[in-house]
A = this chain, B = another copy of it.
């Protein structure tokens, strides 16, 4: 729709100065928002957002357990990243790993009671921080717009041709 006429808009190769200024504001602010959330979570619960994502997925799984690669695809991580992270979480006693009986070569990831406790303690302050720093910072219309922008950006990222 926006790309119907390659004459004006599609012909340009580079962003304008205004577009570039908005781009920088946008990417830097969202990155800063992410790190602020990260450090709030860290201070409130000694968990990273990565820890939180893993614990959330395990909490919602039946038996509070999942196969490793299943967990990886559920939270959208590479297997290697998850393996490293699980190693660190295991050292801190948040999860356990054991061989999977049903699937050969599969590894079950189990929530420990310490992990479940940490997750429960982290949830409320984390959601409150999301509300303070994101929801309350925007008007309802802006929240809707943010959702639409995310959808549009995601569609472009997932599009095969543009790489």
- A residues with CB within 8 A of B: 1-3, 12-15, 19-23, 25-34, 36-37, 40, 76, 124, 127-128, 130-140, 142-157, 162-163
Contact = CB atoms under 8 A, between A and B. Distances in A.
B14 A128 contact: yes
B145 A145 contact: yes
B133 A157 contact: yes
Given A12-B131, A19-B134, 20 more contacts: A1-B139, A2-B139, A2-B140, A15-B127, A19-B143, A20-B127, A20-B130, A22-B143, A23-B130, A26-B30, A30-B34, A33-B157, A132-B156, A132-B162, A133-B157, A137-B152, A137-B156, A142-B145, A145-B145, A145-B149
Contacts of A124: 14
A151 B15 contact: no
Q: Is the interface of A mostly helix, strand, loop or mixed?
A: helix
Copies in the complex: 2
Contact of A147 (B26, B30, B130): B26
